């Protein structure tokens, strides 16, 4: 297993996020990677593959917004991280100039702040994924230690701590028939939206039932068919009830005859995760990985969520060891 990481991903360091009616310390912070780096051993520094692969998954105007939003925020006389507070529910596409209107246009929640280093960190997360993809295509399984995460970022929106969707960027620039398995606690709504019109790429997601959990508006069981499979599970799900959903997902993905597997791996399915409600234990991540490895496909693993800092490194290392 080759592992990739770039220090520039630390430049995204949000202070707070807003949910449940209050500001909370940001759950997705650079300290997460310190928990992971030591147990996984040496990492390789990614190469710069440029903007082109990113633009295969994301709208150019959205990418330009990400690059300039924090400068616009400062120019408007604000301090700290940029956060939206008004959203275009009626979905009229209007070209408004005020930074607050632009923040609302390109996002769907108040948990995804843009700071001075957000663009660089997101850009290098995507490059980390692309370099790990190149390693997979050269014959090794590879792990991209990416943050901020990506699977909630859609074609033209950020949300769920995600800005650029590394898994989708890699799938669309692989030049091979890719399949994506998303095992983060939360539904990979951004990946689903990016792949909606791309029938060649199968996307399976196992996640908390969105009737009760974020991101609420995507990932319901009836959003399956074509190249999509959504398997929502109830709060409290442990390995015994998780395993059958995983087996079903893998069978379904293999029916698409993929040449490459991309795993959006979130360790927020862990029993001790502070923002999630499944009950997987550290040893279960090795079991999960063994099932995935049985597909026998070249595999790229992309880091998504996981917020139980004290166990995060062990959970990731156990998952990687299963390959
Ligand atoms: Zn998550």
pLDDT one-digit tens code per residue, 263-282: 999 999 999 999 999 999 99
What pLDDT sits at residue 112? 97
In the reported structure, the alpha carbon of residue 76 is separated from the centroid of ligand 1 by a whole-number distance in angstroms of 32
77 within some domain: no
Q: Find out whether 303 and 143 touch, Cβ atoms under 8 Å.
A: yes
Q: Which domain holds residue 14?
A: 2-58+116-321
Confidence check: pLDDT of 93 > 80: no
Structural domain count of the chain: 1
What pLDDT sits at residue 151? 98
pTM above 0.75, yes or no: yes
What pLDDT sits at residue 200? 85
In the reported structure, the alpha carbon of residue 255 is separated from the centroid of ligand 1 by a whole-number distance in angstroms of 26
Show the tokens assigned to 224: 């399956």
In the reported structure, the alpha carbon of residue 26 is separated from the centroid of ligand 1 by a whole-number distance in angstroms of 14
Report the catalytic residues.
Answer: 152
Over residues 156-214, the pLDDT tens digits come to 999 999 999 999 999 999 999 999 999 999 999 999 999 997 878 999 999 999 999 99
Reduced 3-state DSSP string for the chain: CEEECCHHHHHCCCCEEEECCEEEECCCCCHHHHHHHHHHCCCECCCCCCCHHHHCCCCHHHHHHHHHHHHHHHHCCCCCCECCCCCCCCCCCCCCCCHHHHHHHCECCCCCCECCCHHHHHHHHHHHHHHHHHHHHCCCCEEECCCCCCCCCECCEEECCECCCHHHHHHHHCCCCEEEEECCCCCCHHHHHHHCCCCCCEEEEEEECCCCCCCCCCCCCCCCECCEEEEEECCCCCHHHHHHHHHHHHHHHHHCCCCEEEEEECCCCECCCCCCCCCECCCHHHHHHHHHHCCCCCEEEEECCCCCHHHHHHHHHHHHHCC
Confidence check: pLDDT of 321 > 90: yes
In the reported structure, the alpha carbon of residue 214 is separated from the centroid of ligand 1 by a whole-number distance in angstroms of 9
Over residues 6-35, the pLDDT tens digits come to 999 999 999 999 999 999 999 999 999 999
Euclidean distance between CA atoms 184 and 74, whole angstroms? 34
Q: What is the mean pLDDT of residues 299-322?
A: 97
Confidence label for 253 from pLDDT (cuts 50, 70 and 90): very high
Show the tokens assigned to 300: 């790229």
138 within some domain: yes
Q: What is the mean pLDDT of the chain?
A: 96
What pLDDT sits at residue 137? 97
72 within some domain: no
13 within some domain: yes
What pLDDT sits at residue 94? 82
86 within some domain: no
The domain that holds 149 is classified in CATH as 3.40.800.20
What pLDDT sits at residue 141? 95
What pLDDT sits at residue 158? 98
What pLDDT sits at residue 195? 96
Q: What is the mean pLDDT of residues 244-260?
A: 97
Confidence check: pLDDT of 91 > 80: no
28 within some domain: yes
What pLDDT sits at residue 109? 97
């Amino acid at each position: 297993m080759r592992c990739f990481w770039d220090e520039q991903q630390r430049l995204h360091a949000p202070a707070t996020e807003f949910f449940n009616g209050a500001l909370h310390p940001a759950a997705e912070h650079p300290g997460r990677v310190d928990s992971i780096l030591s147990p996984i051993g040496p990492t390789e520094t990614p190469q710069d593959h440029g903007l082109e692969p990113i633009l295969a998954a994301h709208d150019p105007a959205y990418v330009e917004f990400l690059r300039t939003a924090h400068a616009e925020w400062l120019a408007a006389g604000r301090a700290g991280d940029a956060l939206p507070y008004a959203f275009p529910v009626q979905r009229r596409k209007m070209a408004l100039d005020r930074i607050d209107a632009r923040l609302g246009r390109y996002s769907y929640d108040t948990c995804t702040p843009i700071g001075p280093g957000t663009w660089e960190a997101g850009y290098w997360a995507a490059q980390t994924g692309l370099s790990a993809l190149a390693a997979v295509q050269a014959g090794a399984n590879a792990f991209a230690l990416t943050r901020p995460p990506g699977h909630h970022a859609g074609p033209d929106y950020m949300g769920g701590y995600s800005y650029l969707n590394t898994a989708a960027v890699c799938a669309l620039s692989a030049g091979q028939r890719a399949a994506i398995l998303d095992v983060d606690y939360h539904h990979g709504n951004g990946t689903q939206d990016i792949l909606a019109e791309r029938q060649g790429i199968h996307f399976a997601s196992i996640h908390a039932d969105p009737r009760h959990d974020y991101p609420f508006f995507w990932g319901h069981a009836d959003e399956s068919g074509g190249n999509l499979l959504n398997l929502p599970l109830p709060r409290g799900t442990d390995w015994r009830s998780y395993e059958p959903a995983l087996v079903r997902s893998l069978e379904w993905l293999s029916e698409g005859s993929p040449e490459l597997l991309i795993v959006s791996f979130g360790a927020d399915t862990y029993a001790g995760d502070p923002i999630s409600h499944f009950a997987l234990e550290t040893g279960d991540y090795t079991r999960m990985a063994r099932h995935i490895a049985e597909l026998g496909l070249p595999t790229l693993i992309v880091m998504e969520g996981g917020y139980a800092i004290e166990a995060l490194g062990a959970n990731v290392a156990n998952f990687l060891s299963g390959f």
